[in-house]
Amino acid sequence: MTRLTYHAPKIRGQEGAKTLRQEFGAFISLWLRPSLPWLGVSIFLSLFFFYPLARILWLGLNFASLSGIGISSLRLTFDVLLFTLYQAFLSSLLTLLIGLPAAYLFARFDFRGKSLLRLLTAIPFMLPTVVVAAGFNALLGPRGWINLGLMRLFGLESPPIVFVYTLWAILLAHVFYNTTIVIRVVGNALAHLDPRLEQAARLLGADKWRAFWRVTLPLLRPPILVAALLVFLFDFTSFGVILLLGGPRFATLEVEIYIQAIRVFNLPLAAVLSLIQLLCTLVFSILYSRVVTRVVVTTAPRAAASNLRRVRSWREKLFVGGMLLLLLALFLLPMASLPLRSVARLESARGERAAVSFGLTGDYYAELFVNRFGSLFYVPPFEALANSLIYAVVTVLLSLALGFPVASALARPGRLERFLDPFLMLPLGASAVTLGLGFIITFNRPLLTGHLSLITSPLLVPLAHTIIALPFVIRSLQPALASIPDCLRQAAATLGASPLRAWFTVDWPIVSRATLAAAIFAFTVSLGEFGATSLVSRPEYPTLPIAIYRFLSQPGGLNYGQAMAMATILMVVTGMGILLIERLRLPGTGEF
Amino acid sequence: MKNFFFLTILVTLVLAACAPEGPATLTVMTHDSFAVSADVVMAFEQANNVKVTFIKSGDAGEALNKAIFSKDAPLADIFYGVDNTFLSRALEAGIYESYASPLLANIPTEFQLDPQHRALPVDYGDVCINYDKAYFTDHNLAVPQLLEDLTRPEYKGLLVVENPATSSPGLAFLLATVKHFGADGYLDYWRSLRANGVVVVDGWETAYYTNFSASSGHGPQPMVVSYASSPAAEVVYAETQLTESPTASILGPDTCFRQIEFVGISAGTQKRALAEKFVDFILGVLFQEDMPLQMFMSPVNLNANLPEAFVKYAPAAEQPAAISPDLIAANRDRWIANWMEVVLR
Distance from CA of B35 to the nearest CA of A (A): 7
Q: Is residue B312 part of a domain?
A: no
Q: Are residues B114 and B148 in the same domain?
A: no
Q: Which of A205-219, A267-281, A286-300, B269-283 has the highest mean pLDDT?
A: B269-283
| Nearest of B210, B247, B213 to residue B231 by alpha carbon | B247
pLDDT band at A309 (very low <50, low <70, confident <90, very high): confident
Q: Is residue B186 part of a domain?
A: yes
User: How confident is the model over B61-90, as a mean pLDDT?
Assistant: 90
Q: Is A247 on the interface with B (CB under 8 A)?
A: yes
Would the CB atoms of A558 and B206 count as touching at under 8 Å? no
Question: Least CA distance to B86: which residue of chain A?
Answer: A263
What is the number of domains present in chain B? 2
Compute the distance between CA of residue A59 and CA of residue A68 in angstroms, rounded to an integer: 14
- Please say if the pLDDT value at position A453 is more than 80: no
Calculated CA dihedral for residues B241, B244, B249, B253, nearest 10 degrees: 150
Would the CB atoms of A398 and B32 count as touching at under 8 Å? no
**Cβ neighbours of residue B272 closer than 8 Å, sequence gap 6 or more:** B97, B265
DSSP A104: H
CB contact residues (below 8 A), chain A span 261-280, against chain B: 261-266
Q: Are residues B294 and B188 in the same domain?
A: no
CB contacts, 8 Å: A62 with chain B: none
CB contacts, 8 Å: B54 with chain A: 376-377, 539
Q: How distant is the alpha carbon of residue B95 from its chain centre?
A: 19
- Which residue pairs from A361-368 have beta carbons closer than 8 angstroms and sit at least 24 positions apart in sequence? A361/A561, A361/B239, A363/A558, A363/A561, A363/B239, A364/A558, A364/A561, A364/A562, A364/A564, A364/A565, A365/A565, A367/A558, A367/A561, A367/A562, A367/A565, A368/A562, A368/A565, A368/A566
Q: ∠ at Cα A335 (A329, A341), nearest 5°?
A: 130
Q: Are residues B197 and B321 in the same domain?
A: yes
Compute the distance between CA of residue B194 and CA of residue B340 in angstroms, rounded to an integer: 11
Q: Are residues B210 and B120 in the same domain?
A: no
Q: A477-481, B13-17, B271-275: which range is least confident on average?
A: B13-17
Q: Is residue B80 part of a domain?
A: yes
Q: A478-482, A496-500, B133-137, B160-164: which range is least confident on average?
A: A478-482
Would the CB atoms of A262 and B65 count as touching at under 8 Å? yes
- Residue A451: strand, helix, or coil: coil
Q: At A367, which helix (H) or strand (E)? A: helix A363-368
pTM tops 0.90: no
Q: Are residues B195 and B323 in the same domain?
A: yes
Burial class (CB in 10 A: 0-12, 13-18, 19+), A302: middle
Q: Is A465 on the interface with B (CB under 8 A)?
A: no
Mutate one of B72, B210, B297 to test the A interface: name it (highest A CB count within 10 A): B210
Q: Is A69 on the interface with B (CB under 8 A)?
A: no
Residue A305: the pLDDT is: 65
Compute the distance between CA of residue B35 and CA of residue A450 in angstroms, rounded to an integer: 28
Q: Are residues B120 and B152 in the same domain?
A: no
- Residue A517: strand, helix, or coil: helix
Distance from CA of A112 to the nearest CA of B (A): 36
pLDDT tens digits, residue range A512-535?
878 888 898 899 889 888 877 877
CB contacts, 8 Å: B58 with chain A: 436, 534-535
- Residue A51: strand, helix, or coil: helix
Residue A495: the pLDDT is: 87
Where do the domains of chain A lie, and which CATH numbers do they carry? 54-443+454-583 (1.10.3720.10)
Q: Are residues B119 and B183 in the same domain?
A: no
Q: Are residues B167 and B106 in the same domain?
A: no
Compute the distance between CA of residue B3 and CA of residue B116 in angstroms, rounded to an integer: 54
Q: Is residue B149 part of a domain?
A: yes
Q: Are residues B132 and B232 in the same domain?
A: yes
Answer yes or no: are the C-beta atoms of B259 and B328 closer than 8 Å: no
CB contact residues (below 8 A), chain A span 172-231, against chain B: none
Compute the distance between CA of residue B74 and CA of residue A299 in angstroms, rounded to an integer: 57
Would the CB atoms of A134 and B209 count as touching at under 8 Å? yes
| Nearest of B318, B284, B274 to residue B106 by alpha carbon | B284
Q: Is residue B4 part of a domain?
A: no
Q: Are residues B98 and B193 in the same domain?
A: no
Would the CB atoms of B201 and A248 count as touching at under 8 Å? yes
Q: Is residue B9 part of a domain?
A: no
pLDDT tens digits, residue range A538-564?
788 888 888 888 888 888 888 888 888
Compute CA distances A320 → A112, A181, A465, B320, whole Å. Answer: 11, 20, 36, 62
Three-class HEC string of A299-355: CCCCCHHHHCEECCCHHHHHHHHHHHHHHHHHHHHHHHHHHHHHHEEEEECCCCCCC
Q: Are residues B339 and B190 in the same domain?
A: yes
Q: Are residues B241 and B215 in the same domain?
A: yes
User: How confident is the model over A140-157, as a mean pLDDT?
Assistant: 82
More confident of the two residues B38 and A159 = B38
Compute the distance between CA of residue A363 and CA of residue B239 in angstroms, rounded to an integer: 8
Three-class HEC string of A269-291: HHHHHHHHHHHHHHHHHHHHHHH
- The CA-to-CA distance between both ends of chain B, in Å, stands at 53
Answer yes or no: are the C-beta atoms of B138 and A350 closer than 8 Å: yes
Distance from CA of B77 to the nearest CA of A (A): 13
CATH of the domain at B98: 3.40.190.10
Would the CB atoms of A440 and B75 count as touching at under 8 Å? yes
Q: Is residue B334 part of a domain?
A: yes
- The CA-to-CA distance between both ends of chain A, in Å, stands at 22
Q: Is A76 on the interface with B (CB under 8 A)?
A: no
Distance from CA of A461 to the nearest CA of B (A): 13
Which of B163, B165, B238 is closest, CB to CB, to A558? B238
Which of A397, A398, A444 is closest, CB to CB, to B73? A444
- Please report, rounded to a whole number, the percentage of residues in chain A having pLDDT higher than 90: 21
Would the CB atoms of A376 and B37 count as touching at under 8 Å? yes
Q: Is residue B2 part of a domain?
A: no
Compute the distance between CA of residue A81 and CA of residue B333 in angstroms, rounded to an integer: 21
- Domain span at residue B270? 19-124+260-307
CB contacts, 8 Å: A376 with chain B: 35-38, 40-41, 54
Give me the helix-helix angle, A557-583 and A129-140, nearest 10°. 110
